[in-house]
Structure 1
Amino acid sequence: MAVNSLTERNDERNVQTREETRSNERYIRPAVNIIEDEEGMVLTADIPGASKESLDVNVEKGILTISAPAQHKVPGTSSYREFELANYYRQFSIPESLDHEKAHADYVNGILTLRIPKSEVAKPKRIAIQVG
């Protein structure tokens, strides 16, 4: 019988091991949407179970890193589980034309929204034409 995609274990779906030669810790790659427009970039990531305080978003050498430990605290003893929580981890290369100093992030209801504007040098400029 085929495996039901709703009940497959996380290690068969989207849980990955980070740096397998160094660590046995497992990570989940959060689903991400990235939209770029003339003002900059907007990244939206689905990170349920993480807290705002534990969420780590940083940019270093053109690499955007999002990481957070997932926290699932429910009183009682688990009698049935279809999924397991693991820490979140995702990295992206982003253009140097973005102004990382002016980045702004919001985390509401498990959704991280990160806005990084383009630097003034990278924005398109209209050049006035002189007559004469």
Structure 2
Amino acid sequence: MPAVARLEGARWRTVSLPAGRSSDRRIAATAAFFVSAFEPVSMSALRDALRDLSDDVFFDLLESEEAYLLVLDVPGVSAESLEVAIEDGRISIDAQREKDPAGDYRYLEENRSLFLEVDLPLPDDASDAGGEATVDRGVLELTLPKRGTGEETTIDVVDEDAQTG
């Protein structure tokens, strides 16, 4: 059954088309090409890296014209026990939380990790400067501005023949 990608909200979703005419298959193939050909490779790499994280790590990745926003759940983590760094095209997030059993309780089983270490690729069009990170009620919001395309620059063209003649 042919498939075509369509935009739903902020994500592309593959939708199966009913079997039928060969034109349906051509439409599906064309749509799949355009979805993959025009998606920035680095965004794809970042999304893949996020999807490869443990099932215990919850995140959202958002994009605007000016910036990327990574929202990552880090329950029990404060700003003092959280380190975010960008170096050599990588985003590094290290979080640590304290777990002290209340009162006279002791652990019978301990499944919640005390540490979170995340290493992600920085999108090619994201700036490694000017990022902002906040943590509020166990939710980290990391804003990474995109590199500006800047204003148009006009370059003077010199006619070598006119100068020598």
One-letter code of the match for 2:86?
V
Identical positions, percent: 25
d(CA) in 2 for partners of 1:48, 1:42: 18
By relative contact order (CA 8 Å, sep 6+), the higher-ranking structure is 1
* 3-state SS of 2:129 partner: helix
2:79 match: 52
The CA RMSD measured in Å over matched residues stands at 2.5
1:82-122 residue CA offsets vs partner (Å, 9 max, x unmatched): 6333201112111232122211111000000011111223x
Map 1:48-87; keep pairs closer than 5 Å.
48-76=75-103, 77-78=105-106, 80-81=108-109, 83-87=111-115
Distance apart, 1:66 and its partner CA: 0.8
1:60-100 residue CA offsets vs partner (Å, 9 max, x unmatched): 11110111112123432226546333201112111232122
CA separation of 1:88/1:106 partners in 2, compared to 1, >3 Å: closer, same or farther?
A: same
CA separation of 1:53/1:82 partners in 2, compared to 1, >3 Å: closer, same or farther?
A: closer
Distance apart, 1:35 and its partner CA: 1.1
One-letter code of the match for 1:113?
E
Q: Which runs of 5+ in 1 are unaligned?
A: 1-13, 16-28, 128-132
Q: 1:105 aligns with which of 113, 133, 148?
A: 133
Map 1:1-132; keep pairs closer than 5 Å.
14=54, 30-76=57-103, 77-78=105-106, 80-81=108-109, 83-121=111-149
**If each structure's helix is expressed as a fraction of its own residues, which one has the higher value?**
2
User: Which protein shows a greater Rg?
Assistant: 2
**TM-score, scaled relative to structure 1:** 0.63
1:2-55 residue CA offsets vs partner (Å, 9 max, x unmatched): xxxxxxxxxxxx48xxxxxxxxxxxxx632211122111000000001121010
d(CA) in 2 for partners of 1:93, 1:114: 14
**TM-score, scaled relative to structure 2:** 0.52
